[in-house]
Amino acid sequence: MRTVIFSLILLTFWSTSVLAEHKRLEKEYQRDWCAEARGQAEIRLADGTRADCITRTHAIEFDFGRKWAESIGQALYYSMQTGKRAGVVLILERIEDRKFWIRLNSIIEFQKLPIDTWKIENFQIP
């Protein structure tokens, strides 16, 4: 019983700290953006993985700015699995996160990667 209570306390602290790091959960941004794009969120692919959003034309990965590099591999993988064009939606919650948007698009352009990008900006410009 002590183990269960201790585990619940740890889970509460962990989930609170994760949520405190961001204004909203990634899944909330994903759900709203994907619905507006007339896509389907969290689609299970043939190999059991899940694509964040599938639209008529794109297989899309969502990530917070700091994870810009990871988003490239995920998007390309979803594209390979679905035959759709790769896409990344980068979530920028602080004005400082714009540097990640620049990095993402710079590497895509430099390497001529077949990835389209969109951003969600959830911050106020001072």
Total of domains in the chain: 1
pTM of the model: 0.79
Q: Is residue 7 part of a domain?
A: no
Q: Is residue 15 part of a domain?
A: no
Express each pLDDT in 27-52 by its tens digit: 898 999 999 999 999 999 999 999 99
Q: Is residue 16 part of a domain?
A: no
Q: Is residue 13 part of a domain?
A: no
pLDDT for res 45? 94
Q: Nearest 5 degrees, angle CA 77-CA 58-CA 98?
A: 80
Q: Nearest 5 degrees, angle CA 83-CA 38-CA 88?
A: 55
Q: Is residue 126 part of a domain?
A: no
Radius of gyration of the chain (CA): 17
Q: Is residue 6 part of a domain?
A: no
More confident residue, 16 or 57: 57
The torsion of the CA quartet 124, 122, 65, 43, rounded to 10 degrees, works out to -170
Q: Is residue 94 part of a domain?
A: yes
Range of the domain at 101: 24-121
The torsion of the CA quartet 92, 95, 99, 101, rounded to 10 degrees, works out to 30
Percent of the chain with pLDDT over 70: 81
Q: Is residue 9 part of a domain?
A: no
